[in-house]
Structure 1
C-alpha cells in the first residue's frame, strides 16, 4: 500500500484504535455487539446499551450514505476525517490482514487456522462509510453449517463431528468497495433477422421439402446510457472469490452509516485490494452489462457488435464492511474453511472427501448393476 498521509492534528494512533473499544457503564468490562439483540451487551454483568445513534456516521441515522470522488482518491486527496488507523496482523499463509486487540500477542488466523503472532503495526486506510450489521448470531451460524455439512454425502464422519463441536466461529467484517458511475456508449454493428428458405432434398429415394434458416443482416448504429449504482467488488484476498461470490445476494438497502459499535466483539479485515484495481474489476462488470444493453438496443434475432466506445463519468465509490461468520480447521494437515453470510445465513465451504465412502459407493453401484444384469438375464432365459 502507498505511504499513508499523516494523522490529523491532535490525533494519535492509540486514540484511533481505542475508537473500537466500548467499556460497560456498570462494570467497566468490554461490551460487544449482539446480532440477536441488535445492541451492545456486557458478558460480565449483562448490562445492555443501544447502538449510539449519535455516533452513527457523520451523516446521521437514516440518511443516505454518500460516496467519495474516485479521481480525487487516486490523487491521494482524501480528507483526514475519511481515514483511520487500526491494529492489524497479517497472516503469512493466506495473506489476510485482520484487526486484533493490541493486548493479544498470539492468535490463530480465523481464515485458515494458521497460528500467528500479532505485531505492533498500525494500518492506515480509508475509513468505511457503510457497514451491514450482523443479523445472524453465532449459534444460528453453527446450525447453518451443521445443516450444510449434513448434506455432504462423501464428507468424512470425523469432519462432521468436528464441525459440530468446533469451539468457536469468528464474526468478521470483510471489506468491499462499491462504485457508482454514469456511462454513455456509442456502437456500430449489425442486426440479424432470421428467415427461412425452402429447399428440396432426396431422402430414402424420395424428394422432400426442408426449411433452411438464413440471416438477413442490416447495419445498426446507436447510443445507450446507463447509471451504475453500488457495483460491489471484494476488497480482500483472504477467501476464495468463489466463496464470497456464492454468499450473495447482500441486501445493501440495510446498510448503516459506519459505526464502530457494530464491530465491538467482532473483528474487521483491512482491505488488501487497492481502489484502482477494484475499479478495473467493476469496469469489467459494467462492460458486460453495457454489451447486453447494446444487443438489446440493436434488436432483431441476432446481433453483431463491430465497434463500442464507452465514456465513463462521475465515478464515485465507498468502502463498506459486510458480515460473515467463519470457522477454519485443520484436517490431516490441511486447512478447510466454512463461511456463513452474517445477514442471510447462506453457507459456503471447503470439504475433504472420504475415500472409504467413495469406495463403498462404487462397490454398491457395481453390486446394483450386477443384480440388475442377473435379473435381466434370468428373465430373458425364462422367456
Structure 2
C-alpha cells in the first residue's frame, strides 16, 4: 500500500467531521451535518494539467521537480497492490483481495498524477449495475448474487493509467492476394444416378508488395497497475477522456488511490504493442486486394509524449465458500467485469434435466417406431 505523506484531511467547516467527494457533482459533502462546499475549478490549470509530458525525459528520469512526488508505500502482502491512503487512515482491507494491510514507513519517488476522471456513479448505482450483471450470467450461484446485493459496500478506487501519444511512420512488406476462378467438372449422385456438373473453384494469386503508412496516436491507454488483470480493465472501456480534470486531492476525499506498479518504460512497451496492431491493420488496408499478408513492419516513432492519470473504478472482493471473487465497475459509465462464478448445483441440475428430456424423447421415438 502507498500513502501520500501529507496526512491530509478534509474537515467540514460546520462540524469538523471529514468531508467526502460526491460522485456526479463538483463538491465535497459532510455526511454528519449535510454541509457541502464546492471544489474550485481553474480553466488555466486544466490546460496545464492536461498537457503532455515528454516521454524521452520521463524515461531518463529527467522530469521537472514539479512533476514528481514522494509517496509512502507498503505493498499488500497478498496481491502486491500499491494503494495510496488519504486522510488519517493507517490500516484497511486491500480493495483487490480483502487482505488486512497496515501502512508502513517506506517511501519512493514517483510521477505525480496530472489528471483524473471524477466518479460519476454513487456506490448504490455501481452495486445495482454489478448485481444486474451477475443476474444475467448463466449458472451463477444464487447465494453469491444475493451476497453481492446485500453484502458490504463496494470500494471506490482511483486506478492509475498511462496515456501515450506518438506520430508514426511505418514501412511494410507483404503480399497481396487476388482471387481468380476456374471451372471444373464434378460427378454427383442424383436419385441413384451419376450426373456431371460444372462448378467454380476459387484460387488466390499472390504478388509481393511494399509501401508506407502513417498514423498519429492520441491517448493510448495503458493500465499502470498489476493488481487487476488487464482483461478486466480493458473490458471497462471505453472511457470518455474528455471528462478528465486537473488532479486535485479533493476528488479523492472518501476514496482510495492506487499507486502505479507498471513503470513508464513497461507502459511504453505495452502501448507500442497496441500501436503495432493498429499499424499492421493500416498496412492490410493499404495493401488492398482480396487477402493480405503482412510480413514485416518497421516503424519510426516521433513526438512521443505521455500523461499519468487516475480513472474511477468501484471494486468488490467477495469471499464466497472459500473462494474470492473480484468484480470491477466503471465509475464513469457503469460497465461491469469480473471473475465468472459457476454454480455446481445449477450445472448438475441442468445436465440431469437434459438427460431426462433426451431420454423421454428417445422413448417417444421408439414408441412411434413400434
Q: CA deviation at 1:62?
A: 6.4
1:22 is matched with 10
Alignment partner of 1:256 is 2:240:
no
Question: 1:60 is matched with which residue: 45, 51, 70?
Answer: 45
Provide the C-alpha distance between the structure 1 equivalents of 2:126 and 2:108, rounded to a whole number of angstroms: 30
Contact 1:82–1:127 at 8 Å: present in 2 too?
yes
CA 1:123/1:46 → structure 2, altered by over 3 Å: closer, same or farther? Answer: farther
Q: Secondary structure of the equivalent of 1:209?
A: strand
Q: CA deviation at 1:207?
A: 4.2
Q: CA deviation at 1:318?
A: 0.4
Q: CA deviation at 1:64?
A: 7.5
Q: How does 1:146-295 map to 2 (within 5 A)?
A: 146-204=131-189, 205-295=194-284
Q: Secondary structure of the equivalent of 2:89?
A: coil
Q: Secondary structure of the equivalent of 1:314?
A: strand
Q: CA deviation at 1:170?
A: 0.6
Q: CA deviation at 1:241?
A: 1.7
Q: CA deviation at 1:287?
A: 0.9
CA 1:380/1:109 → structure 2, altered by over 3 Å: closer, same or farther? Answer: same
Given the two structures, how large is their TM-score scaled by the length of structure 2? 0.92
Provide the C-alpha distance between the structure 2 equivalents of 1:258 and 1:101, rounded to a whole number of angstroms: 14
1:345 is matched with 334
Report the count of equivalent residues: 364
Provide the C-alpha distance between the structure 2 equivalents of 1:102 and 1:253, rounded to a whole number of angstroms: 29
Alignment partner of 1:369 is 2:358:
yes
In the alignment, structure 1 segments of 5+ residues that lack a partner are 1-12
Q: CA deviation at 1:325?
A: 0.4
CA 1:149/1:217 → structure 2, altered by over 3 Å: closer, same or farther? Answer: closer
Question: 2:105 is matched with which residue: 104, 110, 120?
Answer: 120
Q: Secondary structure of the equivalent of 2:156?
A: strand
CA 1:178/1:67 → structure 2, altered by over 3 Å: closer, same or farther? Answer: same
TM-superposition CA deviations, 1:318-373 (whole Å, max 9, x none): 00100000111212332211211101111112244222222212111111112222
2:85 is matched with 100
Alignment partner of 1:142 is 2:122:
no
Contact 1:89–1:100 at 8 Å: present in 2 too?
no
In the alignment, structure 2 segments of 5+ residues that lack a partner are none
Provide the C-alpha distance between the structure 2 equivalents of 1:84 and 1:99, rounded to a whole number of angstroms: 12
Provide the C-alpha distance between the structure 2 equivalents of 1:117 and 1:215, rounded to a whole number of angstroms: 65
Alignment partner of 1:315 is 2:300:
no
Greater shift after overlay, 301-310 or 229-238? Answer: 301-310
Question: 2:59 is matched with which residue: 63, 71, 74?
Answer: 74
